[in-house]
Structure 1
């Protein structure tokens, strides 16, 4: 059975797209462009290994973008070059010792490639050795000179707009890149052009109109609209959790350890914040509650870190092709003070959920010395989760 690899080119600066960071690390629907692209490739069972290529100065951004993605299929990222061609070669060289049969070359800035498109690319490359996705050109195309005068009107029936992933037999493509490097040729705009240069026959298969490339600021607006259209089933769930105080020197709230004169007792590590959020997410999915999936009576959950439960709930959303649009958490207690830890809790929850910090709200209040929280007997948390799912 053929061994399939994918090189994801994410080493550009993305300055044409605007923003305060490279476009591959900006978000669409609360999820980074790169994470969406990698998730699309991870969704294809036939792909055995993924080789990211990044700017080494973006390593921390890469780690944040790929947090909680399954690591088994990932090679460690390698540094790219000054051009896309150099970056692809770096990725291919990093894969050389693994000797895959077929390699996909995919731009990180194309986050909407479907599973069907990726599988078509693999099948085409296994059959032909070199295959690229293309769209028929529907506009009239004219060549113009340096003075903007029309030279000729081209026959659009023979023209295609080319996309990625482009798929090739691995060994010939690697050798083509090595030859181009030896001969000082670094001007190829895609891998198909380089393959053509060494005499490989390249087949074009059907691309997808939705497989857009994020290049300019308006592309992010289009991508957000596409994301919203795909996930039109908007759900809201609520969660409530209560834990009593007991002996100890800290509490866990929203994945953050907060020093206190007591601890919270109960299920797992008694993280009242994450537990409420888990129930809110599961509620939006109509998928039971934390107790039905992780029974308190089961000894394996005694003292367990609650981020396991939270990640489980997040993964349930992803398994249904959805996304978490917003999380809102309110903590009610007299002590400890939550305010100094608010930003850390938001950051932890956002990181675990794989969403932008702007999509997580954390609030805190007291109960004005009323009730069990007022008597400092415990803490209660209220959570709301907004989830977007494909309409079914």
Structure 2
């Protein structure tokens, strides 16, 4: 009598088995079944084989066939379910009528695919405004780029006052208009600056990365929570970088031109006996072309000191609007360690196209990171449009 093959535990396939595992089991049992069938045929035609041997071989075949049928049923059922799920996912975007919901679903799919190292489907890219020129590469789709980079952020006080664009190889005139002769430029500082530095400004590409930590719970959560979590983190990172370079007192190498306080920009410093007088003098020192639209960026602590000095016990001044006190709109920014006065339309942030998105892992925490690599530049188009207010040291 032949030695029975070790039986497979059918129950092991009743749980969370993958389609691949079921296919492997079917292949293994199928090979065993084919072998037993061959042996059964050989015994059936062998006159020397006993009827008991033939019956035992027949029983082995029936057992293996029963096991094969059970696993095949499970395989076919799981395969049908997965095909239906895949078809539903592929038709998911087409079945969404609300444009906002479609974009949100597409964003969530992009994030999940990136975090799992899977390619981004073309319909996902299309829903996010990506064009065919990317060829399915790693360029950040236009909708995601716009929402992360171009949306005004309250966390960066310069947003809404400085210009922000998303244009590759941007080159702009320093003045918004010109005439047939340059004698119209009444501000001699501006005329001299244009003569020394030219009348156009070319934006460069300065690389930086923003990391958004994504836990497995968030990744497997709802589309809305996932997209909000990642976008809020990236927006905060972009805003922090913009503030850091624009108000840096000791800029990093290669970023000197981006700071209002950099000696490379050489913005004129106007002094006074105190912060209030220095700011008033800085406003007055601006040419009228810039003074009309001038705003003041300063710390809240500096403004509080000014109010305390001016009020001198009079509580009324504490309720006055900052513009009523200083004569120009005031924007509070902790980075503005010395008040900056000027027309901030001449401060310009530009993001070049070609942002990359990828994933990384924080080894210390185990949290996966959704990473955006971007290139941007901040240009002060005309230093003549700004003044820095400082207190002159008293002897």
Both proteins in one fold, TM over 0.5 = no
TM-score, length basis structure 1: 0.23
User: TM-score, normalization: structure 2?
Assistant: 0.23
Q: Which structure features the higher share of strand residues?
A: 1
Which protein has the bigger helix share?
Answer: 2
Kindly indicate whether structure 1 or structure 2 has the higher relative contact order, using CA contacts under 8 Å at least 6 residues apart.
2
Larger Rg: 2
